[in-house]
Every structure is written in structure tokens, then in C-alpha cells.
């Protein structure tokens, strides 16, 4: 059966090479693709309207008889085909442009079913580019609810319906011969009241009734989410069982001294997360933990304790950050924190000179470097650790899953800690990070003043910059982020340079400000950042390179130019650079764009400082596909489930999957299904 699903659709009748290419344009090459080409919507044809009853400007379907077929060629480039059809109540003109072949499909007296959007013209009713199918009595008698598929200019509804019908007929044979295996375990079908696979496929395409259509949808959504959850949970179990990890020693004097030497008291969320991490690290099962903490919640502390713990147990720790600026900042901060404790840190980035680089690599290799902080440079081949105990990725959303696992492979089953400041809605976390244990840090360190956020237009910009200059006079620092230009880094740099030069001449005339962008040399960037950290530079005009991680508590103003170009999550990240100290902070979003979507996004940001709330909103505004690029999380696209709308089913499916994965016999039965279901994607998931 699975073989049948994997066969190319040209095994079906009437599919030649030409047609199979056309179907490929819809992403359909195998029978499985065809069956998973689910209808976009359904039409109830039980009581079709008469022509005189058709609502204008709406999509409808009716039966009619061909009255007259005409074709004209008003000029060389234009062919117009018009077919007048009628029923007892009136007539409609069907029109096609530049599709001369349409003419040959019709002859007077022919009975057809027409679907399309009806428009009123001065000469009567008209439909442009309608869908046509022959009105064969049996088609209508047997079926009431008709599927409407995503189609395109090469393939029409009728062709898809025909092919699906043919495929379903073959499935029926397999089903009656008991050759159509069920993907879901028997007991799950029963306890979750799900219909069988054949009925579900049959009814999702050609529903016998609305009740059965709902049941079919429910079953297929459940199946999709259940299989994904099984895969993720199996992966987690496998990770834990197959590799005996490192058993870190219980806290000794180093950990105790570190805690006492902190300049502040840990928040209770931090303490809890650190406890989770310690417990995981002391266990022989390798840690796979995700720390989700809003921007500024103090995630670096969690990393610090994990690193110290591995050093105390006699291992090395690695911390990977997505940008050089952030790696450098971590290196500075952790060096300060660890300096009383005789811990040896090194920084590894791409921009090290050959000689320095060689030295650093040697220290990593011979174990004299206890802690290694770096960028992607950490995962290169030449980096060999002596005995890696824990690997940490900061701002995981900036890395692909593959980079995470490459770092992990630098050790033998090291403990893994993943930190992200992009709070992921719960539903999303269950799907993307369904294989990880999670700690959440919601609470911000005490004493933070809430950030006020405002939307201003370009006319009001003068006042905004005057205000910024005033704040600088009273000792604060300012970020100005230049418009996001995704197409070209070069253009982004140009925009930033223009704004910088403009400000130097006007509002920031007597103020020490600096420009920073991705095209600058690393040493230049470092010099600028270091002056900004020290407070010598008062205003930093930058492209989005300061988006993640940067921590300068004295900076209290964030001005974002052309704010409409940024997504909600990114704006929240940018705003997270301020509000980190004891002074009141202000975020000003500058935008002239007043479309509804922009206003909704910007107002959401004004309303809330809660990253978790914003993430939920972002997911709703942008939809799950956009939220994380597919290649980012490496998960297969969902064909029918929608993780926002189908949260209830997701929770059921997850519960069922937990039961399956916990039972040895159930697990061994589902494994084969998982393999054929995910094919290539499966390997991807299991690679993590």
C-alpha cells in the first residue's frame, strides 16, 4: 500500500508526460501528493441556483446548456472566446481571453456545470475564466458536497477531481481486500473516536455528508499532529536512552562561591531554571533543555552556572552566539564574573589573526581553556575539544538545527542547553521543540522601569531627536536603528550612513555618535562597541546588527526608523536593548505607513512589553509558516493541521503520542509508519 502511495501519478489513466508536468506545477508528483492535495473549500450542490438567482460578485455554481459559441480576434495579440449559456431563467456569457482552444470544448446543446464569479455588465451577466465540467447525471446524483481544490492555469478543478476519483477507486479496492493499512494504532482510533483512514481520505475529497467531512478533517489533522509528536518524542527518548551522557558532580565550592559573588540576587525564575539545569547535568542522561526567557530576563546567568558546573566537574564548556558583538560581550561579562575563580576563558571568532587563532585552538585542544566562547567559528572542523561537558547556544532562533547539532558533536554526548529570547507560543514550542525539556523565565530582574513605546511619523521626527539629545545631555545613551533593507546589505549600509550624516549635521551636532554596520571590519566594530559600552559614544546609529543580545544598561532610548519594515518579534528584540537599567526608557517607532496591518502590529507593541503575548500575536498576524522559516526548524510543513486553530487537537494528539512512545510494543509498531510518513524529513528530524 505504501508502495502504491509512492508511485508516480503517471501510473494513473490519462496521465501522460505533459499532464504529469502540469500536475507537478501544483506540487503533485506521487499519488500521496495527490491524496494530500486537500480541497481548499467545498461547494454544496444539493440545490443549485438558477441563473436569475445567482448573487453578483460571488463565486457560485450552476447548471446550464450551451447556446452559442463565438470567437473574435480584435487585434494580433488578443483572442476572445465567448460562450453563451442558458437555463430556463436566463443566460450568462462565459469569457476567456487568449485561450483559443476553449472554443473546441463547446458545442450548442451541450449540458455543463459552470463555476465562477458572476459579474453584471451592460449587456448582461458575465463570468471570466469559469471552471467548466460536463453535466453527467450520475456525478450529480451521487454527490452533494463538491471539493474545490487549489488549482492553477495549467490544471483545472475538473482534472484534479477526475484524478482523485480514480485514485480513490483504487484505494477502495485495496481497502476491501484489507490491503490498506491503518496509520493510527487501533486503541487510539477507539479512545479518541477517530474514523478509519480510508473513510477519512474518501470523505475529505468527496464528503458523503457535512458530519463525515468534519470527522474526516478531524482524523487527518489528528493523524498529522500525532505522527509528528511521536517522531519528536521518540527522538527525545532515543537521545536520552542511547547515549550514556556525562554525570556532572554535585555542586562543590566553586558553584557556591560563584553564587555568593553575584552582584545581585537571582530572580526566582532564574533560580528555578538553574536548578533544572543542575539536575539535568548531574543525571547520566544527556541534558536537552531549552531556556525560553524574554529579552532582558537574565538568561546569561543560566549559561554562567552551567559553564561553571562543567568546569568544576573537570570538563570544558562551550557557548556559541550568533554575532561577533554578542560573543565579545559574553566573553567580557563572563571573564569578569569568573575572574576571582581561576577559570580560563578563550574567545574564538572568525576575525582572530592566524597566530592568535592557533594559540586558542591549542588551548581548546589541550584542555587549558576551560570555557570557549565564540560564533559559528566554534563548529569548524579544526576546533577539537579535549573533553567537552556542556554546549550552549545563545539566541537559538538565529541558528539552524544543524548548527546546533554540529556543536553538540564536538563532544561525546555532552549536555545541551539552548537559550532563546524569542518566546515561542506554546503550540509552536510543542511542535518545533517538542523533543526538548523547557524552562521558562518570565520574570524580569527587579527595579526595571517599564519601557514606554510611541508611534511617530516623519513630520514629528524633529521633536523625537530633540528629546533624544536632551536625554543624552542628562547622561543617557541612545540607539538609532535604520530601516531594514532585506534585499541588499549594501543599501542598508547606505541608508544608515545617510541617517548618521544627517544627524551629525543637525540634532546630534555636538554629540559624540558613531555608525555601526555589518560591512565594517571586526576590529572597527569592536572599537565602536567598546566605546559605547564605556559610555564615550552617546548615540549609536546602526543597522539591525545590534538586534540580539547587546546589553548596555545606560542606554534608554531606542529610535527605529521605518518601523513598518520590521516584524513584531524583531521590534520586540530591538526594544529589548533598552529598559535594562534603573532609568526610564523610551522606544519610538517612526513610520508614515498607516495601513491596517502596520497599525495593528505597531499598536500591539505599544500595548504590551510581554514577549510571550507578542509571540502569540505575531503568530496570528503572520501565520505559522512565516513565523519561523521552515529551514530554520527543519520540520516538515503541515498539510492540513493549523497549529493555531487546531490547538485542541494538538493537545489530544500529544497526549496520545506520549502513551504510544511510552509503550514498547506500541512504539515498535508505529516506527515503520513514521519512517514512510516522513521519508526524507524524518532523517532530518532524527539527525538533530
Complex with ligand ADP: residue 204 or 373, whichever CB lies closer:
373
From 61, 270, 420, 422, residue interacting with ligand ADP (rule: CB under 6 A): 270
Q: Which H or E run includes 669?
A: helix 664-687
For residues 388 and 245, the answer to whether their CB atoms sit within 8 Å is no
| Rounded distance between C-alpha atoms, residue 331 and residue 346, angstroms | 8
Q: Decide if residue 207 touches ligand ADP (CB under 6 A).
A: no
CB of 616 to ligand ADP, least distance (A): 20
Number of residues binding to Mg ion, judged by CB under 5 A = 1
> Residue 654 binds which entry of ligand ADP, Mg ion, none, with Cβ cut-offs from 5 to 8 Å by kind?
none
From 551, 562, 591, 660, residue interacting with ligand ADP (rule: CB under 6 A): 551
> Residue 293 binds which entry of Mg ion, ligand ADP, none, with Cβ cut-offs from 5 to 8 Å by kind?
ligand ADP
CB of 292 to ligand ADP, least distance (A): 10
From 63, 553, 642, 666, residue interacting with ligand ADP (rule: CB under 6 A): 553
For residues 635 and 681, the answer to whether their CB atoms sit within 8 Å is yes
Complex with ligand ADP: residue 299 or 688, whichever CB lies closer:
299
Length of the chain measured in residues = 688
Q: Decide if residue 298 touches ligand ADP (CB under 6 A).
A: yes
| Rounded distance between C-alpha atoms, residue 547 and residue 527, angstroms | 18
Span 362-401, contacts to Mg ion by CB under 5 A: none
CB of 325 to ligand ADP, least distance (A): 13
Q: Are strands 78-87 and 90-97 parallel, antiparallel or unpaired?
A: antiparallel
The edge-to-edge listing of strands for the beta sheet with 513-516 is 451-456, 585-590, 555-560, 477-481, 539-542, 513-516
Q: Decide if residue 423 touches ligand ADP (CB under 6 A).
A: no
Q: Decide if residue 322 touches Mg ion (CB under 5 A).
A: no
Which residues have C-beta within 8 Å of that of residue 403, sequence separation ≥ 6?
320, 376, 379, 393
Complex with ligand ADP: residue 121 or 260, whichever CB lies closer:
260
Complex with ligand ADP: residue 274 or 656, whichever CB lies closer:
274
Q: Are strands 539-542 and 59-75 parallel, antiparallel or unpaired?
A: unpaired
What are the cell numbers at 589? 517607532
> Residue 567 binds which entry of Mg ion, ligand ADP, none, with Cβ cut-offs from 5 to 8 Å by kind?
none
Q: DSSP for 500-515, please give it.
A: HHHHHHTTTTTS-EEE
Complex with Mg ion: residue 297 or 543, whichever CB lies closer:
297
Complex with ligand ADP: residue 534 or 655, whichever CB lies closer:
534
What are the Cα distances from residue 265, in Å, to 239, 247, 259, 299, 303? Answer: 35, 28, 9, 14, 16
CB of 321 to ligand ADP, least distance (A): 10
Q: Which residue has the cell 489528528?
A: 222
Which part of the chain contacts ligand ADP (CB under 6 A), choosing from 73-81, 94-102, 297-305, 465-473? Answer: 297-305
Q: Are strands 437-441 and 288-293 parallel, antiparallel or unpaired?
A: parallel
Span 535-554, contacts to Mg ion by CB under 5 A: 549
| Rounded distance between C-alpha atoms, residue 110 and residue 509, angstroms | 80
679: number of Cβ within 10 Å: 12
For residues 512 and 535, the answer to whether their CB atoms sit within 8 Å is no
Which part of the chain contacts ligand ADP (CB under 6 A), choosing from 266-274, 359-367, 403-411, 604-612? Answer: 266-274
From 35, 84, 421, 615, residue interacting with ligand ADP (rule: CB under 6 A): 421
Helix (H, G, I), strand (E, B) or coil at 670: helix
CB of 416 to Mg ion, least distance (A): 17
For residues 417 and 303, the answer to whether their CB atoms sit within 8 Å is yes
Span 430-489, contacts to Mg ion by CB under 5 A: none
Which part of the chain contacts ligand ADP (CB under 6 A), choosing from 288-296, 487-495, 560-568, 603-611? Answer: 288-296
CB of 332 to ligand ADP, least distance (A): 12
Burial per residue of 84-109, b for 16 or more beta-carbon CB atoms within 10 angstroms, e otherwise: bbebeeebbbbbbeeeeebbebbeee
Which residues have C-beta within 8 Å of that of residue 126, sequence separation ≥ 6?
92, 93, 94, 95, 118, 119, 120
For residues 415 and 409, the answer to whether their CB atoms sit within 8 Å is no
| Rounded distance between C-alpha atoms, residue 584 and residue 667, angstroms | 55
> Residue 518 binds which entry of Mg ion, ligand ADP, none, with Cβ cut-offs from 5 to 8 Å by kind?
none
Which part of the chain contacts ligand ADP (CB under 6 A), choosing from 127-135, 241-249, 265-273, 678-686? Answer: 265-273
> Residue 301 binds which entry of Mg ion, ligand ADP, none, with Cβ cut-offs from 5 to 8 Å by kind?
ligand ADP
CB of 466 to Mg ion, least distance (A): 32
Point out which residues bind Mg ion (CB under 5 A): 549
Q: Which parts of this chain interact with ligand ADP (CB under 6 A)?
A: 264-267, 270, 293, 295-301, 421, 445, 551, 553, 580
Amino acid at each position: 500500500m505504501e508502495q502504491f502511495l509512492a508511485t508516480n501519478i503517471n501510473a494513473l489513466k490519462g496521465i501522460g508526460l505533459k499532464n504529469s508536468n502540469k500536475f507537478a506545477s501544483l506540487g503533485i508528483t506521487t499519488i500521496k501528493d495527490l491524496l494530500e492535495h486537500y480541497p481548499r473549500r467545498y461547494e454544496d450542490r444539493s440545490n443549485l441556483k438558477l441563473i436569475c438567482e445567482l448573487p453578483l460578485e460571488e463565486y457560485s455554481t450552476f447548471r446550464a446548456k450551451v447556446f452559442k459559441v463565438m470567437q473574435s480576434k480584435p487585434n494580433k495579440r488578443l483572442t476572445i472566446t465567448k460562450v453563451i449559456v442558458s437555463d430556463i431563467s436566463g443566460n450568462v456569457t462565459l469569457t476567456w481571453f487568449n485561450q483559443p482552444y476553449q472554443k473546441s470544448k463547446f458545442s450548442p446543446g451541450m449540458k455543463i456545470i459552470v463555476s465562477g464569479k458572476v459579474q453584471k455588465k451592460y449587456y448582461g451577466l458575465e463570468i471570466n475564466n469559469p471552471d467548466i465540467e460536463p453535466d453527467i447525471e450520475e456525478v450529480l446524483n451521487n454527490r452533494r458536497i463538491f471539493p474545490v481544490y487549489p488549482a492553477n492555469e495549467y490544471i483545472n478543478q475538473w482534472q484534479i477531481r477526475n484524478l482523485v476519483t480514480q485514485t480513490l477507486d483504487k484505494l477502495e479496492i485495496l481497502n476491501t481486500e484489507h490491503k490498506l493499512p491503518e496509520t493510527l494504532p487501533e486503541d487510539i482510533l477507539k479512545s479518541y473516536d477517530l474514523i478509519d483512514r480510508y473513510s477519512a481520505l474518501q470523505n475529505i475529497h468527496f464528503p458523503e455528508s457535512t458530519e463525515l467531512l468534519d470527522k474526516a478533517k478531524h482524523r487527518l489533522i489528528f493523524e498529522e499532529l500525532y505522527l509528528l509528536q511521536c517522531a519528536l518524542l521518540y527522538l527525545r527518548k532515543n537521545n536520552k536512552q542511547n547515549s550514556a551522557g556525562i554525570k556532572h558532580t554535585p555542586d562543590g565550592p566553586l558553584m557556591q562561591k560563584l553564587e555568593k559573588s553575584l552582584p545581585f540576587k537571582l530572580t526566582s525564575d532564574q533560580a528555578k531554571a538553574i536548578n533544572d539545569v543542575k539536575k539535568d547535568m548531574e543525571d547520566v542522561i544527556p541534558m536537552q533543555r531549552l531556556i525560553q526567557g524574554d529579552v532582558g530576563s537574565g538568561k546569561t546567568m543560566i549559561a554562567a552556572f552551567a559553564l561553571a558546573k562543567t568546569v568544576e566537574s573537570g570538563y570544558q564548556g562551550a557557548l556559541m552566539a550568533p554575532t561577533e558583538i554578542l560573543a565579545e560581550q559574553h566573553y567580557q561579562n563572563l571573564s569578569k564574573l569568573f575572574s576571582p575563580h581561576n577559570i580560563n576563558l578563550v574567545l574564538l571568532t572568525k576575525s582572530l589573526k592566524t597566530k592568535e587563532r592557533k594559540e586558542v585552538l591549542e588551548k581548546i585542544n589541550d584542555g587549558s581553556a576551560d570555557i570557549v566562547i565564540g560564533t559559528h567559528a566554534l563548529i569548524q572542523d579544526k576546533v577539537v575539544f579535549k573533553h567537552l561537558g556542556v554546549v550552549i547556544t545563545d539566541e537559538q532562533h538565529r541558528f539552524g538545527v544543524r548548527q546546533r547539532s554540529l556543536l553538540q558533536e564536538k563532544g561525546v554526548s555532552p549536555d545541551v542547553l539552548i537559550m532563546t529570547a524569542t518566546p515561542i507560543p506554546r503550540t509552536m514550542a510543542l511542535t518545533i521543540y517538542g523533543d526538548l525539556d523547557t524552562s521558562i523565565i518570565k520574570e524580569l530582574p527587579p527595579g526595571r522601569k517599564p519601557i514606554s513605546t510611541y508611534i511617530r511619523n516623519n513630520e514629528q521626527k524633529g521633536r523625537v531627536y530633540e528629546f533624544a539629545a536632551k536625554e543624552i545631555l542628562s547622561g543617557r545613551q541612545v540607539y538609532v536603528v535604520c530601516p531594514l533593507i532585506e534585499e541588499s546589505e549594501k543599501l542598508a549600509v547606505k541608508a544608515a550612513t545617510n541617517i548618521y550624516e544627517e544627524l551629525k549635521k543637525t540634532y546630534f551636532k555636538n554629540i559624540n555618535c558613531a555608525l555601526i554596520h555589518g560591512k565594517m571590519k571586526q576590529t572597527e566594530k569592536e572599537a565602536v562597541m567598546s566605546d559605547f559600552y564605556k559610555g564615550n559614544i552617546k548615540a549609536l546609529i546602526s543597522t539591525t546588527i545590534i538586534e540580539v543580545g547587546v546589553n548596555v544598561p545606560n542606554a534608554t532610548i531606542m529610535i527605529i526608523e521605518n518601523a513598518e519594515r520590521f516584524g513584531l518579534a524583531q521590534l520586540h528584540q530591538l526594544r529589548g536593548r533598552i529598559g535594562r537599567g534603573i532609568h526610564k526608557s523610551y522606544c519610538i517607532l517612526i513610520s508614515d505607513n498607516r495601513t491596517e496591518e502596520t497599525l495593528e502590529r505597531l499598536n500591539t507593541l505599544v500595548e504590551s512589553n510581554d514577549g510571550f503575548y507578542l509571540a502569540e500575536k505575531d503568530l496570528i498576524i503572520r501565520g505559522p509558516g512565516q513565523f519561523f522559516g521552515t529551514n530554520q526548524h527543519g520540520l516538515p510543513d503541515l498539510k492540513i493541521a493549523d497549529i493555531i486553530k487546531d490547538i485542541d487537537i494538538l493537545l489530544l494528539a500529544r497526549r496520545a503520542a506520549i502513551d504510544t512512545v511510552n509503550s514498547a510494543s506500541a512504539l515498535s509498531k508505529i516506527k515503520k509508519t513514521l519512517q514512510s510518513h516522513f521519508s526524507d524529513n524524518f532523517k532530518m528530524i532524527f539527525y538533530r
